[in-house]
Structure 1
Amino acid sequence: MQDIESWEDHCYFHERRDYAGLVAYCRDEVKRSPDNLYAAERLLQALVLNGDYGDAINVGATLEHRYPGVGMFANHILDALFALGKTVADFDWAEPPSIVRLGHGVSDDCYAFLRIKRKARSLHDLHSELWPHDYVAFTDLELLHYLQRDERFVVNGETPVNAEISVARKRKRTGG
């Protein structure tokens, strides 16, 4: 029951964009359940949303070193670093995160994934299948536009929410 109430409380703060209130709520949640890694992750997210980037990096450093290889903290640490104009090299990682940047490697990964699929897939499907544990350094809209410019893909839909992507199939020639 408390998990449901906690979820509702988080929504309350998010809907009102009361990130300072969310930080206070999350700090209290971590204090009550110091071994709850999800509560710790929610605190990191709240700190980033509130613009407390330095605090997010400090809290994140403690968590990342205490739980190396638990990737849930890396994304928030990276968000804070990038918001401060820093790079991945500006943090002492126990285990460096994997960062995916938009480029030929991304479109090649999408092509390899989609070419064996019969039906078109959403951007959400691409993210969850190709980069589930990586920091994705581009938006869904940037990915959508990138794939629209690549002749190997057919993109139906104009927004990241409704777009369906498939591989352009080569037509077989008939006759002789």
Structure 2
Amino acid sequence: MKKEDEYDKFEEWEADNNFLDKKDWKGLVVYRRRKAENNPDDQYDQFKLGEAYVLNKEYEKAISFLYALHQKYADDQNIQYSLLDALFAIGKDETAIDWIIRPTVLRLSGDVLNYCYNFLRTKRKPRMVYDLYLELYMEGYLAFDDDQLMDFLHSDNRFTLTGYDAKSYDCFVTVNRKKDVR
């Protein structure tokens, strides 16, 4: 008779979330490794193990594991982004590996500011900076966080920010409607 694991009683998401909520990264690796071993053809379970390696700061192991998955599932954005997380964590960038399908990496730049401006200029109501960040997330891997985006928007006079208190979800942004902006 198979020994029952304490997490076998949970729905799958509950066991996983239990480790995530506790930030028990080692336990998460053990749990997800068992799932990946039991489901070797399940792309999602394989990816989740790679993600657990990243969360547990086993970056080299994550890179090796996720790169092999990328070879098999080249268009899987989850695999690509977790692989990028591991690369950036050890000070490398997206050029460090040979991609089959290279992900788009967005960095704070004039292009990002222009994207934000073009997105916001058609909106009448202010948007939270965090919502703008999520909009950008749809365009590619973001090599910056939402608070860095907020600070970057402050540097461009095309934008008006209100409610600024160092948290992007408390700050709203609109396009400055004056004709002489730039």
Q: TM-score w.r.t. structure 2 length?
A: 0.84
Contact 2:129–2:146 at 8 Å: present in 1 too? yes
Equivalent of residue 115 in structure 1, options 121, 130, 136: 121
* Inter-partner Cα distance in structure 1 for 2:62 and 2:153: 33
Task: State the match for 1:169 in structure 2.
Answer: 177
- Map of 1:25-104 to 2, 5 A cutoff? 25-104=31-110
Which deviates further from its counterpart, 26-35 or 92-101? 26-35
**Cα distance in 1, alignment partners of residues 130 and 154 from structure 2:** 16
In 2, the alpha carbon distance for the partners of 1:34 and 1:123 equals: 40
Task: Work out the CA distance in 1 between the residues paired with 2:173 and 2:43.
Answer: 35
Write the deviation string for residues 65-107 of structure 1: whole angstroms up to 9, x where unpaired: 1011221111111111122222222112111111000011111
Runs of 4 or more, structure 1, over 6 Å off, are none
Matched, 1:11 2:14: no
Alignment match, 1:174: none
CA–CA distance in structure 2, aligned partners of residues 61 and 20 of structure 1: 21
1:98-148 deviations in Å (ceiling 9; x for gaps): 100001111110000000111112234323333315110011111001112
Q: How many aligned residue pairs are there?
A: 169
5+ residue gaps, structure 2: 1-7
Identity %: 37
> Which residue identity does 2:147 align to in structure 1?
L
What CA RMSD, in Å, does the superposition of the two structures yield over aligned residues?
Answer: 1.9
